[in-house]
Chains A and B, each alone.
Chain A
């Protein structure tokens, strides 16, 4: 039971981290129709900038948390204004290729400046202690802080999108961009702003995930594909959907890794006999497979199931 609660908390931490990445991406995707392949690269940039600011420049963790996302957001807005917007008129495929190239470029630039190795970007000392323990498992103060920061951002985003005038325009531009433009709003400006804020959110995710999951040139790649799964499962353009699917995927991957369920038990239960040498049997690897081994593909399986039964995603209004 202790372990169950601990896994709930760990899954929540990872899920909320995914949410910060996917919330920005889902807004960008639904508004501009651009699958931004470079989104996770902005997450990586956030981590590296925060490392540079907090450790090398000596501004501390809070300094990194405030400054790094701003730089990432400004860079994102500039890339939209001077890059994506120019490519936009040629259609979706050039846009895709542009963001894909951008992801590769950012990866190489990061290697050029910070090298191949993991950089020493750590939790701040004042958060690096066990806040409480469940059973023998320590829950770090930093993890609780991660939950707090993500919750704050979700609240703020929800407030801006649903309660303010800016949010109304964004929501309107999501579904009827031409009408909003006809009413005299500067839609390209809104696009740029959303892109900037979206990338800044990815930057925040990078700042707080860097110390926990490691800051290295492969970090964008390891998280990149799962973020797309999250927004497709959640439904394009839906903040609540992004939250739900992020948490779902966070818990699925955590629980899958946490329990050593063996597929052998199912095979034995349906009356099959265990072969002496597993790979000589027709079912082959199924006999030796455990749940943690297939954990990483479960989110993709979930995506396939959702696409079959609910193509618009859990909370989405239109089809993907």
Chain B
């Protein structure tokens, strides 16, 4: 008796599975980012944003081509380069042709190399790499290739936009640079020195230092140095608890000028700064959700917050990436010949849901878009971290770094 129930159940299950597979052809996108370990919050937040964007912006609009649906398949890379390459191979073996990854430029560098090799050796099942967050400029310069597309503004573009805005402040005479002691921290400092030197040679860099990453227990001595240096503004590329610790110590030490950051929002950071961060914490980034660009964007954010109350739209570019991929697939008329899709994506001008246009520069596959200097404040329409506080765009640089040079020389098939 028991046995027959089991057999019946498995038969029904098998039928259900085959029926499901037969109904619609899904276009799968492999999402490879940390879903466990210390960086899991960032990874799970990104996964939620990809899933929501695919569902809302593509599937509910009827899919692409003849009703093909997007499906996000998540792989946990545990924030390790080695593990990422294993997961990449698993995804490719399962026939997935679109790879999305963003956390850590080191891992993005490993993936872009692996994709390049794979595509050279397997011309019949090539894949595309959609980099939605890794901002190391090298990925679209010396290490660029035809298969890699970056939807975020890279670190140099962000610094260019930030210094454009800072340069207008006549009262700013002294700037302090502080960052984590590794490649990204150094890149931010170097870009700041270069850009400020060009735009405001009269501004003095009164401090340029790197602190051990993740090892500083108390940031107070650093904050004291910043106050003592008489700096008018601080620039930092810090993220995670190093960002919170540094920001809090600077404000507590009585520093009154602006602190310009890359990553001081969401994932608990906005909530932690709270009232103290008002008027002090600024962030440079693409895509601002306050003020919201349109009713469509507002409905999108509301829908996301309703579906994922514990997450935020912290990476608005993901919506652009999904919409642009859908457009490119439609234009190419295929989702399997990624060379055609890549050519459709190249040079695409896309009206972003967040306002402005996104232009995928053909020579280096770097997205050129509006970059916003956003201010940590309260009373915004869409706050972050389930708190009263959020980021509000204070100034906009339209199509930031459109004519910036690139050293990219890519071989196109």
Contact = CB atoms under 8 A, between A and B. Distances in A.
A10 B181 contact: no
A222 interface: yes
A274 interface: no
Contact of B272 (A10, A214, A223, A226): A214
Contacts of B41: 115-117
A136 interface: yes
A118 B272 contact: yes
Interface in A111-148: 115-120, 122, 130, 133, 135-138, 140
Contacts of B211: 257, 292-293
A307 interface: no
Interface of B: 38, 40-41, 181, 207, 209-212, 214-218, 220-222, 224-225, 227-228, 230, 241, 244-245, 248, 252-254, 267-269, 271-272, 274, 385, 387
A3 interface: yes
Contacts of B248: 214
A257 B267 CA distance: 28
A115 to B, nearest CB: 8
B261 to A, nearest CB: 16
A6 B224 contact: yes
A119 B207 CA distance: 31
B390 to A, nearest CB: 15
B253 A214 contact: no
Interface string A1-26: 01100110010011000000000000
A257 B244 contact: no
A218 interface: yes
B388 to A, nearest CB: 11
Contacts of A218: 38, 214, 241
**Which interface class (under 10, 10 to 19, 20 to 34, 35 or more) fits A?**
35 or more
A260 interface: yes
Contacts of B385: 117
Contacts of B268: 115-119, 216
A295 B221 CA distance: 11
A137 B253 CA distance: 6
A222 B215 CA distance: 7
24 contacts: A3-B224, A7-B224, A14-B218, A115-B268, A116-B38, A116-B40, A117-B385, A130-B254, A136-B227, A136-B230, A216-B244, A222-B214, A226-B217, A253-B218, A257-B221, A257-B222, A258-B221, A258-B222, A260-B209, A260-B225, A293-B181, A293-B211, A293-B212, A296-B216
A312 interface: no
B271 A120 contact: yes
A255 B224 CA distance: 11
Nearest to A3: B228
A213 interface: yes
A171 interface: no
Interface string A260-296: 1000000000000000000000000000001011011
Given A119-B268, A122-B274, A293-B212, A133 B254 contact: yes
Nearest to A296: B215
CB-CB nearest 5 A-B residue pairs: A117-B268, A138-B254, A257-B221, A258-B221, A116-B41
Contacts of A226: 217
Nearest to B40: A116
A216 B254 contact: no
Interface of A: 2-3, 6-7, 10, 13-14, 115-120, 122, 130, 133, 135-138, 140, 212-214, 216, 218, 222-223, 226, 253-255, 257-258, 260, 290, 292-293, 295-296
A257 B40 CA distance: 30
B224 A120 contact: no
A213 B246 CA distance: 10
Given A118-B268, A260-B209, 10 more contacts: A14-B217, A116-B40, A118-B241, A119-B268, A136-B228, A136-B230, A222-B217, A254-B221, A295-B212, A296-B216
A10 to B, nearest CB: 5
Contacts of B254: 130, 133, 136-138
Contacts of A116: 38, 40-41, 268
Contact of B228 (A133, A135, A214): A135
Given A135-B228, A293-B210, A7 B272 contact: no
A214 B245 contact: yes
A238 B293 CA distance: 64
A290 B224 contact: no
A140 B269 contact: no
Contacts of B220: 10, 13-14, 254
Contacts of A137: 224, 227-228, 253-254
A122 B220 CA distance: 16
B175 to A, nearest CB: 16
A247 to B, nearest CB: 14
A214 B241 contact: yes
A212 B214 CA distance: 16
A10 B252 CA distance: 12
Contacts of A213: 217-218, 245
Contacts of A260: 207, 209, 225
A257 B216 contact: yes
B212 to A, nearest CB: 5
A210 B274 CA distance: 16
Contacts of A258: 221-222, 224-225
A293 to B, nearest CB: 6
Contacts of A212: 218
A291 B167 CA distance: 32
Nearest to B207: A260
A130 B40 CA distance: 37
B38 to A, nearest CB: 7
Contacts of A214: 241, 244-245, 248, 272
A279 to B, nearest CB: 13
A120 B221 contact: no
A14 B217 CA distance: 9
A292 B41 CA distance: 30
B224 A10 contact: yes
Contact of A216 (B215, B225, B241): B241
B217 to A, nearest CB: 6
Contacts of A120: 271-272, 274, 387
A187 B269 CA distance: 47
